Amino acid sequence: MASPHALLLCLLALVATGGQGRQAALPGCHLHPFNVTVRSDRQGTCQGAHMAQACVGHCESSAFPSRHSVLVASGYRHNITSVSQCCTISRLRKVKVQLRCGDGRREELDIFSARACQCDMCRLSRY
């Protein structure tokens, strides 16, 4: 079983390598494969690589003048209403990554990869 620190480093590696793939060629929101390197610690004592999936692309958003009731309720400060959707993960899958260690040992670590994507309401907590 990998330590909590290894999980944190795995997530950091996932985030760090996520932006290195080519831009999405397809319109809309879809799965996109990318290579991730997983390390057990900062020194890379044990490490492995895996092809993971991320959700990339775009979804529809719009802005329009606010209704009169919204204007009144906001003290006439909220004059534009926007509706935004973001490309998000709708289903995850757990993937086992084999790590090879410098001393010949092997470790196994679970990471998560996107299984399905969808356009959904944008929420700051997801990003």
**The domain that contains 37 carries what CATH number?**
2.10.90.10
Residue type, 2: A
Coil, strand, or helix at residue 4?
A: helix
Question: Domain range for residue 111?
Answer: 4-126
Confidence at 94, pLDDT banded by 50, 70, 90: very high
Burial class (CB in 10 A: 0-12, 13-18, 19+), 20: exposed
**In this predicted model, what pLDDT tens digit does every residue of 15-65 receive, in sequence order?**
444 444 444 455 699 999 999 998 888 887 899 999 999 999 999 889 999
Confidence at 125, pLDDT banded by 50, 70, 90: low
pTM to 2 decimals?
0.61
Number of domains in the chain: 1
Listed in sequence order, the residues at least 6 apart from 15 whose beta carbon sits closer than 8 Å to its beta carbon are none
